[in-house]
A and B are shown apart, each in its own frame.
Chain A
Amino acid sequence: MNDIFPALFHMLVFPGGLFALVAGLFLKGLDRRVEARMQRRVGPPLWQPFLDIVKLALKQTVIPATAQRTAFLAAPVLGFAGMAVCAALIPVAGAYAGLPGLGDLLVLFYLLPLPAVALMVGGSASSSPFGALGFSREMCMMLAYEVPLLAVLLAVAMKVGAATGVGVEFSLSAVVGYQLAHGSLALDPVMWPALAAYLLFLPGTMGVPPFDVPEAETEVLEGPLLEYSGPALGFFHLASALKTMVVLGLGVAMFFPAPLPGGALVNVAWFLAKCAGLMLLTLTVVKAATGRFRVEQAFLFYLKYPAPLALLSLGLAWRGL
């Protein structure tokens, strides 16, 4: 019983739930602002995503007559809930050690695709042909980018496990703890290919150009999101904001968690700064500078480059390097 309330606090307030939501939405705003500046535009204010959410909450929700109602309305909530739990599992070095016994790389691996699954369920439940197209594209992308993700997670687990002598270490708190004691994994040449693979995985999982194949608005009219409106669409945007926070936070926790001297507040700010830097590097700049892959190009890209890189790190870590 005593464990439940701290766990609930971590899921609803910090670092999951509220905190991740606000931080994620601000990151999205920063993303849009910097992208606009790269194109020499003024860009929207930083809190634009909040305004969008308020707007969507006040709009009417249209449910297509031929849609499968329950699945259509449950899908966005499913994606949102999955990401809210995920956000509570990410340790913030120097401020939050992660949920004991739950902060696990494998749990994260199973929870991370939930927004994509929600998109697929929602898209196919909407009974729109564009939703179905988006479904197949999302499925294709998922199969491609989950391979390098799994290899990266295994490489990290193997590396830390070999160094601490427990074989394979899946606990995220232990991974962060090891790095606090022995230096960040990003400084270890063995892990560089895995880090590169993770950086390449980020735009794919966030569905930004050049990997925005499932939601391509000029080809499949936003795909699975086509039929959504009002609060249901808002939930997809919230889930996406949370997911931004989760995948960036996971990257920071796995590769460069090193905290600053100082209190918890300093380290939360430092963590957010690292997340923002990672986002600008892997999402914003890439998004503003590229077009869009065709679906098979994006698929092959993930199997050609990030997957072998991650497997290389995995092999090296397995040999105990």
Chain B
Amino acid sequence: MLRKLAARSPWLYRINTGSCNGCDVELLTTACIPRYDVERLGCRYCGSPRHADIVLITGPLTVRLKDKVLRVWEEIPEPKVTVAVGICPVSGGVFRGGYSIAGPVDKYLPIDINVPGCPPRPQAIIEGVIKARDAWLARMGG
């Protein structure tokens, strides 16, 4: 019961692992512009990984960022759900095979939800957030 209530307050945290910023713009757009409002789901972007419940990862994971991304991900308190936004975290996207790419992200982190697209549509991102919320509820044992 309490867990069901808690699941209506998922706070989002964005990690950019070397993305081209396209997905990040889409993420901000889903939150900020009136048409696609994620705050009505109780979501809120937070500035600190310690406050986060759902992690949105964008980008192909570059070599230089790998350790830092893993460290930030470790900082997020349990239970947490990881969402890969865009095709870069899955496959490397247009950066695939580049000398600077250490990804894909799921070699290092357990990805729960994939939102494919380059960049994904806002509706798809919101659907991903909702699925992540359900996964999060299951992880809390509710």
- The smallest C-beta distance from A223 to any residue of chain B, in angstroms, reads 9
Given A54-B2, A55-B6, A58-B6, the answer on whether A228 and B50 have CB atoms closer than 8 Å is yes
Query: Which chain B residues numbered 43 to 93 have a C-beta less than 8 Å away from chain A?
Result: 44, 46-48, 50-51, 53, 75, 77-79
Given A42-B40, A54-B2, A233-B51, the answer on whether A217 and B46 have CB atoms closer than 8 Å is yes
Q: In the complex, are the beta carbons of A51 and B5 less than 8 A apart? A: yes
The distance in angstroms between the C-alpha atoms of A229 and B80, with both chains bound, is 13
Q: A41: nearest residue on chain B (CB-CB)?
A: B37
Given A218-B47, A228-B50, the answer on whether A52 and B77 have CB atoms closer than 8 Å is no
Q: Which chain A positions have C-beta within 8 A of B44?
A: 52
Q: In the complex, are the beta carbons of B77 and A54 less than 8 A apart? A: no
The distance in angstroms between the C-alpha atoms of A33 and B50, with both chains bound, is 25
Size band of the interface chain B makes with A: 20 to 34
Q: In the complex, are the beta carbons of A62 and B9 less than 8 A apart? A: no
Chain B 1-16 near chain A by CB (<8 Å), digits 1 or 0: 0110111111100000
The distance in angstroms between the C-alpha atoms of A59 and B49, with both chains bound, is 13
Which of A39, A44, A60 gathers most chain B CB within 10 Å? A44
Q: Which chain B positions have C-beta within 8 A of A51?
A: 5-6, 8-9, 42
Q: In the complex, are the beta carbons of A52 and B51 less than 8 A apart? A: no
Given A54-B9, A58-B3, A217-B47, the answer on whether A41 and B42 have CB atoms closer than 8 Å is no
Q: Which residues of A contact B (CB under 8 A)?
A: 32, 36, 39-45, 48, 50-52, 54-55, 57-62, 217-218, 221-222, 225-230, 233
Q: Which residues of B contact A (CB under 8 A)?
A: 2-3, 5-11, 32, 34, 37, 39-42, 44, 46-48, 50-51, 53, 75, 77-79, 140
